[in-house]
Amino acid sequence: MDWSDIILIILATTILVLYIRLMRKNVRLKQLADEAEQNRRESEATEQRNRQLKQEMTNNIAHELKTPVSSIRGYLEILLSDHPLDEERRRYYLDRCFRQTLRLSDLIQDVSIINKLEESADLFPRTTVDACNVAEEAIAELSDKATVAGISIRNQLPHMPLNGNHELLYCIFRNLIENSISYAGNNVQIVLETYLPQSNYHSTTSSTHYYLHFYDTGCGVPDEYLTKLFDRFVRIDQGRSRHNGGTGLGLSIVKHAVLFHGGEIYAKNRPEGGLEYFLSLKIQ
């Protein structure tokens, strides 16, 4: 083998190595292009889903606003008409107008909270707050309403300091309690306590999270609704919810507020009767 053969072999080997490298680069470039295309499609799909969700929420809000606005308009038309009204009827219509304005106010507030949680969660300031004390505030606020329904509330939570937002924690406890008062039935009990998911005994905390167990001894909900409880504007009993002034956003706010605090929440029916929630809140 002379030098020319050796040079040809070296050149052929070099060309082969360069070709293999080029093919590998082409394969990698194709993979990157495929990944970029997949990301683009996923981004477009996400944007489309977000647009659909916003459109659905807009439609739902418009639908929810329609009833109270129409009611207020109707009552005001009666009050402003030339037909004579006695004092009792006049006060009745004014009372109905006032109740509908409260419903509008609650709806606007709930929608505002959800929008802030989804789009600007950092606008909710964090500070050291005790979840047990916040729960007591919600219980005190709803105590009269619970008494009327013959419902007792037992708060067995220990002191639970965490890095969170007072307003959102209050929303969690208030909405859970108010939901039970409205739908669990009369003469039932509401209990707040702690637990560890991997144990059968109650405890305050793990190393990173508090685990809370909230339940009532009422009628529970149909099983097919359990996966929909935290969806927006979902009402198990449409008529009862409107009668009780619900916006259909309370449990959705609860879920978003729990996620804000680095936790999770799920619900199920109790074998003994009633509805129970298991939720966690991150300590730091």
State which amino acid sits at residue 98. F
Percentage of the chain modeled with pLDDT above 90: 35
What domains can be seen in the chain, in order of their start residue? 1-123 (1.10.287.130), 125-282 (3.30.565.10)
241 falls in which pLDDT band (50, 70, 90)? very low
pLDDT at residue 216 tops 90: yes
Query: Looking at residue 243, what is its pLDDT?
Result: 46
pLDDT at residue 240 tops 60: no
Helix axes 131-148, 166-183, angle to 10 degrees: 30
Taking only the tens place, the pLDDT of each residue in 22-54 is 888 877 888 888 888 888 888 787 777 767 766
CB 244 within 8 A of CB 105: no
Query: Looking at residue 171, what is its pLDDT?
Result: 93
Taking the complete model, does pTM exceed 0.75, yes or no? Answer: no
Residue in this structure with the two tokens 């489309």, named with its chain if needed: 48
pLDDT at residue 247 tops 60: yes
* Spatial CB neighbours of 20, under 8 Å, sequence gap ≥ 6: none
Buried b (16+ CB within 10 A) or exposed e, 40-63: eeeeeeeeeeeeeeeeebeeebee
Taking only the tens place, the pLDDT of each residue in 167-189 is 999 999 999 999 899 888 888 99
H helix runs in the chain, sequence order: 3-80, 87-119, 131-148, 166-183, 238-243, 250-260
